[in-house]
Amino acid sequence: MKKISPKVFTERLLKEYAGEICHLDWDKNRPWTLLFAVILSAQCTDKRVNMVTPHLFREFPDLESYVARPVEEIQSIIRSTGFFRSKAKALKGSAEKMLLEFKGQVPDTMEGLTSLPGVARKTANVILWNIYEKNEGFVVDTHVGRIARRTGLTNEKNPIKVEKDLMKQLPRNHWGEMSHMLVQFGRDTCKAPVPNCSECFFNDICPQKGVTRSR
């Protein structure tokens, strides 16, 4: 059976997707906009979130505005992202907690971030890398998990267990950027349910675990 070594996996991915960045639009002068965009991206496409956030960030330009205004106003803007009631509550709650406990700043630790409403480990990993360039963990979404299993880097389905396997095998200094690369690779080539294996740059070494049909 074909086998991909973590070293070759890393080398090829970095070569093919050099320069890949976060797919969510945000304002670097207002780092909290990335945090809120990631919260909105739960069970929603990045494309949809990027359609919603320009309006949201115009109407609610600072953390204070989320606290001062009714949650229903947030809900009306983010409705199309799904689960809008719980997401609006998370945005309002996170804004309030950052103002009260973090001097209006996005926390720069895993502990601080996961203390915010609506923020779990995956979200925290996105924030730590993109805002603070800290590689505390590996972001595992549906694309990353699928690719990791097909390439044989893990047999796990639980995202936390997949993350642990990837962290053991892949170089820490590339965790953040590789997570973005794998998301795009999953969209471009290693798709669900039918991957485009014939044009994949891993084709000669990928074991294609779990793949029953491909192009």
Query: Which residues are catalytically annotated?
Result: 122, 141
Cα distances (Å, whole numbers) of residue 194 to 4, 24, 54, 133, 142: 20, 25, 34, 34, 14
Q: Please name the residue that has the structure tokens 């491909």.
A: 214
What is the token pair recorded at 76?
């009306």
89 neighbors 117 (Cβ within 8 angstroms): yes
Taken as a whole, the chain contains a residue count of 215
Contact criterion met (CB below 8 Å) for 6 and 20: no
Judge residue 195's burial from the number of C-beta atoms within 10 Å of its C-beta, 0-12 exposed, 13-18 middle, 19 or more buried.
buried
- Verify cis geometry, omega within 30 degrees of 0, for the bond prior to 193: yes
Q: Which residue bears the tokens 């304002």?
A: 27
Residue that the structure tokens 């009260």 belong to: 100
